[in-house]
Amino acid sequence: MSTTLAAPTVPEQRRARRSPGGPVLSRPGFAWALPATLFFGFFALVPLVLVAVLSFTSWAGLGSPEFVGLDNWQRLARDPVMINSLWLSILLTALGVLVQTPLSLLIGVWAAGQQRNRAVLSAIFFLPLLLSATAVSVLWRALLDPNFGVPGQAPWLFGDGNLFGSRAGAIAVLVFVSSWQFIPFHALIYQGAARAVPAVLYQAAEVDGAGRWGQFRHVTLPQLRNAMITSVVLMVVGGLTTFDTVLILTQGGPGTDTTITAYHMYEQAFRSFDFGAGAAIALLLVVVATVISLIVVRVSGYDRMRSTMEGL
């Protein structure tokens, strides 16, 4: 009498896997994720729902909110400052990605090597990570002051020294300061990813006659693809939601030339005391950041990424 053994189904394979020479590994239960789920729900989802509700009301901070329907959204659609701030936020985010990605990639790959004094130089370079955005903004506001800062002492390079007096100069300052602060963070991501690249790949490339540039192009870059996508998504979210840098460096000026969406939300809610309009701007910013991040993930194929522990 023969006995037929049914092959394990895909869910069964995913629930339990045997590691090489080890015991069966099973996927952790939902209880492990419960604390993080509750934390995220209470501090992220609940406030987001409240902001969405507030965007349909008129509230000055005192008394009870008054339901006004789509009035806040209609005013935003007709507000030229709002439309300009949205495009400006996207512009600053794009410039930040274009500037920070290649520099952080090169520095991260270099820091992953075995060069002499690499550890000391990397530690010095990563110092901006220890500073808050507020401290960094105050520091560069003083250094770039048109009267007492570096530009005022070098008119041959900076002209009249007032970098904050023109739209192009103010945008350039915002991009530079943000890059100075966050390039070390993204370089750290690339450093960790570069160190995870198997040495055998470089050995094989060297046997095939690839030089240093060839190894970087055909081995390092493809292996850093997922790290690059992660870094870009973080840049997009951070660039669209940045606020304190603009508040301290330019305060939206000159005029409204650097009034990004987050700063416009602050002006509406905490200067004009129109919390309904501020909530609508905040909700719109969340939607825009989410859509752009999802586009990056879908176009790059990051959503199809598989790890070596897939199925556990």
- Asked whether residue 131 is domain-assigned, the answer is yes
Structure tokens at 168: 């192009």
Residue 1: the pLDDT is 44
- Asked whether residue 60 is domain-assigned, the answer is no
What does the alpha-carbon distance between residue 264 and residue 278 come to, in Å, rounded to a whole number?
8
- Asked whether residue 43 is domain-assigned, the answer is no
Asked if residues 195 and 229 have their Cβ atoms less than 8 Å apart, the reply is no
Residue 197: the pLDDT is 92
**Number of structural domains, the chain?**
1
Phi, psi of 162 (to 5 degrees): -95, 85
Q: Which residues pair with 16 in a beta bridge?
A: 26
Structure tokens at 227: 């790290």
Q: pLDDT (tens digit, 9 = 90+) per residue, 196-220?
A: 999 999 999 999 988 989 999 999 9
- Asked whether residue 255 is domain-assigned, the answer is yes
Ranges of residues in the chain whose predicted pLDDT is under 70 = 1-26, 302-312
Asked if residues 246 and 258 have their Cβ atoms less than 8 Å apart, the reply is yes
Residue with tokens 């985010």: 93
Asked if residues 235 and 227 have their Cβ atoms less than 8 Å apart, the reply is no
What pTM was estimated for this model as a whole? 0.84
Give the dihedral sign, CA 155/158/163/166.
Answer: positive
Residue 157: the pLDDT is 81
Residue 298: the pLDDT is 85
Residue 306: the pLDDT is 57
- Asked whether residue 265 is domain-assigned, the answer is yes
Give the three-state DSSP class for 104: helix
Residue 312: the pLDDT is 40
Residue 152: the pLDDT is 82
Asked if residues 160 and 189 have their Cβ atoms less than 8 Å apart, the reply is no
- Asked whether residue 71 is domain-assigned, the answer is no
Q: pLDDT (tens digit, 9 = 90+) per residue, 23-34?
A: 555 677 788 889
The domain in which residue 154 lies consists of 81-303
Residue with tokens 């007032």: 162
- CATH number, domain of 225, equals 1.10.3720.10
